[in-house]
Structure 1
Amino acid sequence: MANQKLGEALRLLGIDHAAVRVYLALLDLSPAPMSAIAASSGLDGAELTEAYGELVDAGLASAAGADGDVVAPVPPTAGLEILARHRTAEVEDSRLTVDGAFESFRRQRLAAYNDNLVEVVTGDAIGPRMRQAWASARDQIRQLESPPYFPLPGAMDDAMATLARGVTQRVVYSRDSLEHPGRLKEAIEPAIKAGEQARVLASVPVKLVIIDEAYALVSLSIKEADVHNTMLVVQPCGLLSALVALFEQSWQSALPFHGSTTRPGGLPPADRRLLWLLASGAGDDVIAREMGISRRTLFRRLQILMARLGAANRFQMALQAQRCGWL
């Protein structure tokens, strides 16, 4: 019964069934060679390697000997904290998505809604309306950002000009934003360098821009094709208050992201950027592409950083990097 309860707890944190079996075997036998873990868990070959690798990446297991064949569980506090935070963010994203009543509102009632509280803007009118919004901001702009992107000539110039005149900009990016070709280098990092405050979530429920407390611009859906040519302009009302709350909850759940910055404590800027990309949740292929290096070079750099920090896996490396002021 205890093993069943532990397995359910691990699966709620995102550990899959095979990795749970390996972890239970580690608790029963460790320190022990991989052959013993394989026999106890009923896994072998690539399946065992993948399951054990998942535990290592989660900060729950590590080699106990110099040759790497003898393995053991490690104190789970740091790994569980990160797993729990990711899981909490995912659950919060799902709740906010379910609560997105504006989508149902749009489908069922918008055609008959004649009040001026919600305006529908389509096609070529979107670009000028968005530029007008940026120009009208006086205090702050809050934004949930994700692909696909509407082609807006001069949008980057508008954002930089708004920052230059002292308007606070807080943006929650989806992971897809960081992975979108060229977006990180050409738009996100320059804005952060100019003063934008940025955070990252695995996904955002809607594309949203809130101008001061005055109104919001809402794309109807991230996944639907009409995101390219339709948006709502929401004036002060209960729906605007809900959108503000949606942004603030997303901001609290998101991980800080600072982009590439200057060299701290002897750490080369390229390595600092690598650490920030890892912390944002970007995959290995995306990191290698954004840094202009091969996967093999990326893995070698990671090994060097882990050695410098005395870390056995990526989670430990992130924690040690934060303690050193590298993140």
Structure 2
Amino acid sequence: MHDVLDPASDRGRVYRSLVGHPGEPLGRLAARSGLSESAVTAVLEELATENIVMATGSAAGEALWEALPPTQVVEVLLQRDAALRATLRRAGTELEQLYRFARREAGHYGALEVVEDPVRLLMISRQLQLAARQELRVIDVPPYSGTPDHYLEQEAIQRERMAAGVVYRTIYHGTAFADPVAGPNMARMIDAGEQARALDDPPIKLAIRDADLAVVTVVADDHPGLVSLLVRPSGLFQTLSKVFESLWKLAVPVSAAGIGPQLDTRDRQILTLMASGATDDAIARRLGLGRRTVVRRVSALLTRLGATTRFQAGVQAARRGWL
């Protein structure tokens, strides 16, 4: 039905002709739309059954047609879409219940599902992003086992989802800065708009999609590889959500500018004095530098570390091993 709004479709051309030329007879409609009269007749009959156009009378033995207002047509389309989505959700819920019931003996219970198949783990990781509507919250911890191609694919999906309005908030392990693959990936995503913070040693690898799914990834106890625990809305889900928010408050903001090579000797000296509480004037006197030079370099260090205060800069630098 949506093709009635598409000017490239037959239905769209006929409807648009009627919108601009009300009461148009069949012959003129055919000429304007570039279709045969029989094709236009078939389209008009379809549109009439869908309450998009209506016959208003006749002239010289030929039927005259009128388009219903576009706002009314759009509203009908939206209502039908809403009904379709509701039907799909109901069907999906029923199938999900059947799916989980059929696998109950394999460790699927209530709000918790255990997934060990590596192929399905990758599918879950992908779907977690694709199905997000509002926000994706992630705690990213080692081991970083993804290949460069895997990270590039994930980047492409994340850019697409952020462009669609999905907010990404990620807490990175402190070692991510030094990882040859995860580090550059982190920098590119932050530069693209991801909200990122860093924490020395987050206790859990976690991803939370909106308010409907959390995925905890752990090392398998009895065999090599990883296991993912899928947690749906429940008391456990709420606990995981609170864990993320608590760690987010503790973590230090990270900026793309702050991800880069180590400090030179002079900046390390400035940062060490900053962390000890020294003022710009005191740093200038101690290091024999001009005050403007110190102010400029302190500002650059704050930006590089993604810090808004001197205290945050000291914490962030310490976590990166710069002090």
Bigger relative contact order, structure 1 or 2 (CA pairs below 8 A, ≥6 apart): 1
User: What is the TM-score normalised by the length of structure 1?
Assistant: 0.48
TM-score by length of 2: 0.48
